[in-house]
Amino acid sequence: MEEFKRGICMIGCIDFEYKDSCLVTQKEIEEVGRQLLPEIVRMRDARNLGYDSRYAAINLPYDPDMREQIDRIIQDKSILGITILLVIGIGGSNLGTIAIHEAMRGKCYNERSLRNFRVYYVDTVDSDEITELINFIERELKSGYEVLLNVISKSGTTMETVINFELFLDIIKIYRPDTYHNYVVVTTEKASPLWNYGQKEAMICLEMPKNVGGRYSVFSAVGLFPLEYIGINTYNLCQGAQSISDACLSDTIFNNPAALSAVICSILYKRGCSINDTFLFSTSLESFGKWYRQLMGESIGKAYDRDGRLINVGITPTVSLGSTDLHSVGQLYLGGPHDRYTTFISIKETNCSYEIAPQSITTGLIPKEIYGKPLAAIMDALLQGTKEAYCNEQRPFSSIVLPEKSEYYMGQLMQMKMIEMMYLGYLLNVDPFDQPQVELYKKETTRILRQT
């Protein structure tokens, strides 16, 4: 199999590299890959079912009507002169949006705004943080600036989300008592309590498809509305997702990056690698790692299998940053238990043009081999050195390389990872679309609040 000999699955310019470093043989991949084939066929058939299947999320990037609706809403809202967008949601309702936003604009996106336009993600009920943000929003409204609330909850009842929505809506009502409904966009499932409230108040409502769970919803209105509003090219984002979808539904396992990744992960999990580390050699991708952490944690961590048997299966997802975390947990990763499978993610072309100054004008503290080297070359050497160390210590890993940071390649990466997770759920015999244990803390929280 030539693809395995090369050890690189090159689909739509994202490179998924695995041979030798993953410590899994071609024969093992072929055997487990055959088990996956029926699920690949089912998912490929679902491409013709729109949103009428459990795999509905894979069809989100192909929905032009949704994008046209979002464009119209943004055009209508443009006359309001909005200067602040509050995205009120938690978990799957904002993690994907933040991941793409930070990848495209960096972590200091508000400081870099060219339009004096700022975005805040409201995903906690921490009293200090919310109080600080409320005070800031009140000052802005008093000064004549305009705030748009985008409240996002599939169920329409997410506790933290509806609490924050009411807090900030009350402020909008004080300063815009007659027109407050114009400053809200509701994103939820049709006929949910939040949907019904938005309809009653004449607020714009964007529908989340019933069969799309929150953690798979980034290419729905959940992600596309706020991203398009802040100037991210969502057309290119969806084009990237589309461009990799056919490959991720291929029944030729060695040409299918999502299937390959899931197969390798499942094999290593059954060998004892119960930790899955996403090691990002780009700080702007840190929130992508957090999005993937939720995707894996909620999709794979299950008490029961699909046959109703108690199994308590799960892979613990972690996020590491290169080279920062080489100085915090690198010792553990290379010297600790052999219980971890790592995926290194890096970007081939960066925007950095800085070089280390010539030796004659520096402190002399830097090794002479580094003088005159670009920062990007140093980061790449750190990545390659880390991979070599992993190989020497027999620590399994694979690598994903994005040609550059762009909406197109982020679309590819996130679509690949969502399809991968559907395959991994099948291989571990769990439902990758539900999250029943999440309700346990909500139930206990409600009980405690009723007693106080």
Domain boundaries, the chain: 2-45+249-433, 56-232
Burial 228-258 (b: 16+ CB within 10 A, else e): bbbebebbebbebbbbbbebbbbeebbbbbb
What is the Cα–Cα distance from 122 to 162, expressed in whole angstroms? 11
CB 54 within 8 A of CB 211: yes
Residue-level pLDDT at 5:
45
How many residues can be counted in the chain?
452
For residue 282, give every residue at least 6 positions away whose Cβ sits within 8 Å of its Cβ, in sequence order, or none: 345, 346, 347, 350, 405
| Structural tokens at position 319 | 């996020």
Tens digits of per-residue pLDDT, 344-384? 999 998 776 677 767 655 666 777 777 777 888 889 999 99
Q: Tokens 């244990």 correspond to what residue?
A: 437
Position 439 pLDDT exceeds 90: no
Q: What is the CATH number of domain 2-45+249-433?
A: 3.40.50.10490
Other Cβ atoms less than 10 A from the Cβ of 324: the count is 13
Domains 2-45+249-433 and 56-232 alike in fold: yes
Sheet holding 14-17, edge to edge: 8-11, 14-17, 397-404, 340-349, 275-280, 316-321
Q: Can you tell me the mean pLDDT for 244-266?
A: 96
Tens digits of per-residue pLDDT, 291-341? 999 999 999 999 999 999 999 999 999 999 999 999 999 999 999 999 999
Per-residue DSSP letter, 273? -
CA count, 13 A, side-chain hemisphere, 282: 27
- Report which of 85, 202, 81, 100 is spatially closest to residue 150, judged by C-alpha positions: 85
pLDDT band of residue 449 (cuts 50, 70, 90) is confident
CB 297 within 8 A of CB 363: no
Predicted structure pTM score: 0.94
Residue type, 379: M
Residue-level pLDDT at 350:
79
What is the Cα–Cα distance from 205 to 367, expressed in whole angstroms? 59
Alpha carbon separation from 75 to 79, 87, 430 (Å, rounded): 8, 18, 43
| Structural tokens at position 406 | 């762009």
Q: Tokens 């006929």 correspond to what residue?
A: 191
SS3 278: strand
- Report which of 277, 247, 224, 235 is spatially closest to residue 398, judged by C-alpha positions: 277
For residue 343, give every residue at least 6 positions away whose Cβ sits within 8 Å of its Cβ, in sequence order, or none: 261, 276, 277, 278, 279, 397, 398, 399, 400
For residue 202, give every residue at least 6 positions away whose Cβ sits within 8 Å of its Cβ, in sequence order, or none: 181
CB 24 within 8 A of CB 273: no
SS3 189: strand
SS3 9: strand
Tens digits of per-residue pLDDT, 64-122? 999 999 999 999 999 999 999 999 999 999 999 999 999 999 988 887 665 679 999 99
What is the Cα–Cα distance from 20 to 280, expressed in whole angstroms? 20
Q: Name the architecture of domain 56-232.
A: 3-Layer(aba) Sandwich (3.40)
Q: Can you tell me the mean pLDDT for 434-442?
A: 85
